[in-house]
Amino acid sequence: MHQHRKVWGRKVARPLKINQKRLLDEELPKLQLFADFGKKLDLTQLMPGFESYILEIGFGGGEHLAWRAQQSSSQGFIGCEPFITGVAGLLGYIEDYELDNVRIVIDDARVLLQSLPDASLDRIFILFPDPWHKKRHHKRRIVSDETIGELSRVLKKGGELMMATDIQDYADWMVDVLSRRSEFTAMLDGRQSVYERPHPWLVTRYEQKGIDAGRKPSYLLYRKND
């Protein structure tokens, strides 16, 4: 079957500032990983010395990923994001916090998932992904029947899939997709409901903007069964 990348939308959201261009020129080459169909990325060779590996799909401006990486120096973090402006934002955090446990993939997340070995990740974050509101665009949603198999495959047993969205329709969609996968169990981890934030948690500028607009986030945590 012919495979091709499926990245929709603009890759550069706004003109880059001088410092952003510098980061992309000087720092990105040291940190970028390249995924491709038919090629497996051995994280233990590309990022040796870490006790576990965590992926964030669509890291936006990089706030959450950098915050997690700053808290957990023993873990290796991979961020996947096709938009250059967001990549430049993450590079700024990496430089400011002097992080050495982050690598970046600028690509379609579906390509990266297919490039990762089985059971190679301990945790996956998918936070506030594009909801693709129109019904004809639902097939573009990163959480779907088409992608959940790959998300499951790359997670270790006992690994966690953490998703968040402030679009109720997408939250219902995510729950529906995961309900058809017997290898995943929904977890609250001491919370009263999915509307209560996990702990610890960083409220990013993007998340706060949605809250200020009156949207209520859902925080959906699933664990892959042992």
Residue 53 corresponds to which amino acid? Y
Query: Which of the following is catalytic: 96, 107, 122, 130?
Result: 130
Per DSSP bridges, beta strands 52-57 and 121-127 are: parallel
How large is the angle between the packed helices 84-97 and 18-26, nearest 10 degrees? 80
Q: Is 172 an active-site residue?
A: no
d(CA 50, CA 29): 21
Closest-CA residue to 183 (of 116, 139, 129, 119)? 119
- Report phi then psi at 3, rounded to 5: -115, 140
Residue 135: count of CB within 10 angstroms of its CB: 7
Cβ atoms 79, 58 nearer than 8 A: no
Residue 37 corresponds to which amino acid? F
Residue environment code for 26-38, b if the CB has 16+ CB neighbours within 10 A, otherwise e: ebbeebebebeee
Looking up tokens 């808290």 gives: 71
Which residues are catalytically annotated? 130
